[in-house]
């Protein structure tokens, strides 16, 4: 959260003032079933074949935790199939950036990197309208590409918190 606040504060005033302050997704009676379904589908796509094992671990923490994560985090935030401009690759990259900046090593981060890689394996990257070219996505979802993403986020986080210029990882775009 602190990193996002620092990032927001570091934006030029013209950019900050142009950002939307209206939430883009709210559950209501008309969309709650589709949000739940999309959450289940994304959860299964990312965590198969270990999804049930992970659900049991979440349930050990609290009996409602797995349902909350699938319905609110995966369905309400990460799936976002309702958006015409944001797909699984873009959401995965945003989630990885947020998690890496706030918790450099966590199970959630590992899960999102795994989800990014599975987007290539299961072909769902092709449903992302802003994903880019196949060659770039193949590289981005490889071990090398995922390491590059993490390094770029590390460089960006360091640049924001220290006020220093970007390093080599940020100056050479691979995609």
Span 14-33, pLDDT tens digits: 888 888 888 767 788 888 89
- DSSP symbol at 50: S
Which pLDDT value is given to residue 173?
Answer: 45
Q: How far apart are CA 35 and CA 31, in angstroms?
A: 6
Give the position of tokens 């970007």.
166
Q: How far apart are CA 148 and CA 140, in angstroms?
A: 8
Q: How far apart are CA 145 and CA 174, in angstroms?
A: 9
Residue 165 pLDDT level (bands cut at 50, 70, 90): low
Residue 172 pLDDT level (bands cut at 50, 70, 90): very low
Q: How far apart are CA 69 and CA 121, in angstroms?
A: 23
Which tens digit of pLDDT belongs to each residue from 22-78?
876 778 888 889 888 988 988 888 888 888 999 999 999 999 999 999 988 888 877
Bond from prior residue into 49 cis (ω within 30 degrees of 0): yes
Whether 124 and 48 have beta carbons less than 8 Å apart is answered as no
Q: What pTM value is reported for the model?
A: 0.65
Identify the three-state secondary structure at position 120.
Answer: helix
Query: Would the pLDDT of 166 be above 60?
Result: no
Neighbours of 49 (CB within 10 A): 7
Which pLDDT value is given to residue 144?
Answer: 96
Which pLDDT value is given to residue 82?
Answer: 53
Whether 139 and 174 have beta carbons less than 8 Å apart is answered as yes
Q: How far apart are CA 139 and CA 21, in angstroms?
A: 34
Which pLDDT value is given to residue 145?
Answer: 95
- DSSP symbol at 20: -
Q: In the chain, what's the furthest Cα-to-Cα distance?
A: 48
Which pLDDT value is given to residue 60?
Answer: 92
């Amino acid at each position: 959260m602190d990193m996002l606040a620092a990032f927001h504060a570091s934006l030029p005033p013209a950019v900050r003032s142009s950002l939307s302050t209206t939430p883009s997704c709210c559950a209501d009676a008309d969309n709650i079933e589709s949000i739940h379904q999309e959450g289940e589908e994304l959860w299964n796509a990312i965590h198969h074949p270990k999804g049930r094992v992970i659900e049991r671990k979440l349930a050990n923490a609290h009996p409602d935790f797995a349902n909350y994560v699938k319905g609110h985090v995966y369905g309400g935030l990460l799936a976002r199939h309702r958006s015409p401009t944001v797909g699984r690759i873009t959401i995965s990259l945003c989630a990885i950036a947020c998690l890496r900046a706030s918790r450099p090593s966590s199970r959630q981060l590992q899960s999102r990197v795994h989800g990014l890689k599975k987007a290539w394996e299961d072909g769902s990257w092709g449903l992302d309208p802003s994903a880019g070219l196949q060659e770039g996505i193949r590289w981005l979802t490889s071990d090398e590409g995922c390491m590059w993403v993490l390094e770029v986020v590390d460089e960006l986080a360091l640049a924001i918190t220290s006020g220093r210029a970007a390093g080599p990882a940020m100056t050479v775009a691979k995609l």
